[in-house]
Homo-oligomer: A and B are copies of this chain.
C-alpha cells in the first residue's frame, strides 16, 4: 500500500506540527478560527483577515431551530439520545445546495464576473446586467440574493463594514452590489443575503469556492451542537411530531 501524503500536519511521537508549527505554540494565546484558517489556507491570517474570518464564522453559527440542518439535528437527537455525534453530523448533511450551498455557488459566479471585468475591460454594472439576463433566460435565480425570512439581512452590512474597515473589501463586493442592483431594476428589490455577503468577502480574500461551504459547515457546527444539547437536556425522547396527510390512492 502506497503511503498517504499530507501537507497539513505531521504527527510524530510527542510532537504535533500543524502546517509546520508546534501545536503548543498555536495553543498559547491563539484564536481557534485562526488555526482553522491556517489548516485550510496553509498560513496564519493577518490581523485584518482574522477579524473578517472570525466574523464570517460567527455570522453563520446559528439561525434558530428552523434551517434544515438544525431541524434535522434536533429530530435525530429526539430518536438517538446516546450518540450526539450522530445528531451533529446528521445536521451537517443538510448543508447542500438549497441550504448553505449558495455561498460556494455565488463564489463561482463572482470569480467569473471578475474575470469578465478584467478580460473584457467592462464595468461591474455591465457584467451584472449580462449575468442577470443570462440566468433569467435559463429560468434560474442568481444565488446570494433574496432571503426567505429577511428583507435586509443584518449580517450582510455588518460583514461588509468589517471587511472595509479591515481593508479587505474589494471588487467582489462591488460586483455583488451590482448584481443586486441589476435584479432590482427589473422587479422588486431583494437583499444580498449572507451567502452572497460571505461569498464576496471570501473571493476578495482569495479563497477557493469550496471554502464557502466549509465556512458554513464549521460555523454552523457550533449552533447545531448547542441545539442538540438543548434537545437532549430539555425535551423528552420522540417528542417531535408533524401533521401529515396521506394523498395516495
Contacts and interface: CB of A to CB of B under 8 A. Distances in A.
A205 interface: no
A249 interface: yes
A214 to B, nearest CB: 5
Nearest to A247: B5
Interface of A: 1-20, 22-24, 26-33, 35-36, 39-40, 42, 51, 54-55, 57-59, 61-69, 71-72, 74-76, 78-90, 92-101, 148-155, 157-159, 162, 208, 210, 213-214, 217-219, 221-223, 225-227, 229-230, 232, 234, 237-238, 240-249
Given A40-B226, A68-B75, A74-B4, A86 B84 contact: no
Contacts of A23: 58-59, 154-155, 158
Contacts of A227: 6, 8
Contacts of A245: 3-6
Contacts of A61: 18, 32, 35-36, 39
Contacts of A154: 14-16, 22-24
A243 B69 CA distance: 16
For A12, A85, A150, the residue with the greatest tally of chain B CB atoms inside 10 Å of its CB is A85
Given A6-B230, A96-B82, A210-B232, A66 B31 contact: no
A244 B99 CA distance: 19
A31 to B, nearest CB: 6
